[in-house]
Amino acid sequence: MTWRPAFWLVAAGVVVADQATKQWALHALEPGDKHQILGDWLSIQLVYNSGAAFSLGHQSTWLLTIVAVLVTAAIVYYARRAQATWAAILFGVALGGAIGNLVDRLFRQPSFGQGHVVDMINYGDHFIGNVADIAIVGAAIVIVGAGLFSKQVIEPADGDDAADASDAPSEQHDTTDERG
């Protein structure tokens, strides 16, 4: 369990980076104004997102807040079973992203639990995101990639050992009494 400090520190670092960039955007940008960085490919544009990715569910912000709380709890739960420090760090990145957007949903306008997420990174007018989104998507891609390359990210649950037991060499113990 030597990875636990790394998990929490990485998560805190992502939250700080996310909230700092959101504060910068709120103070430096006017909503809707686009500032090109890499031509039409990448720009900075302040928007308030009441929905999820691609503004899906924009009329169910309170439901998205509940889902965000559940996802955050699931990340903490599964991170406890991380196989290695790299996996714990990966879960920390995901947790930081989830908390970063959850903070917006809980504490930004228009009201508690229905706050709009501050987004500012415009990807070629396809979607607009933030640092938390990068963390969540990046961690998800690495987790899926690890699975595709048979890198175990979490320990199997206690009930999941049965499937692996047939592959493991078995030890047989002689239960006969040698005294005769």
Q: Which residues are catalytic?
A: 119, 133
DSSP 8-class letter at 141: H
Contact 107, 100 (CB under 8 A): no
In 3D space, the residue among 14, 131, 95, 69 whose CA is nearest the CA of residue 87 turns out to be 95
Contact 95, 72 (CB under 8 A): yes
Contact 93, 131 (CB under 8 A): no
Could you give the CA distance from residue 115 to residue 169 in angstroms, rounded to a whole number?
Answer: 54
Beta carbons within 10 angstroms of residue 126's beta carbon: 8
In 3D space, the residue among 90, 104, 106 whose CA is nearest the CA of residue 152 turns out to be 90
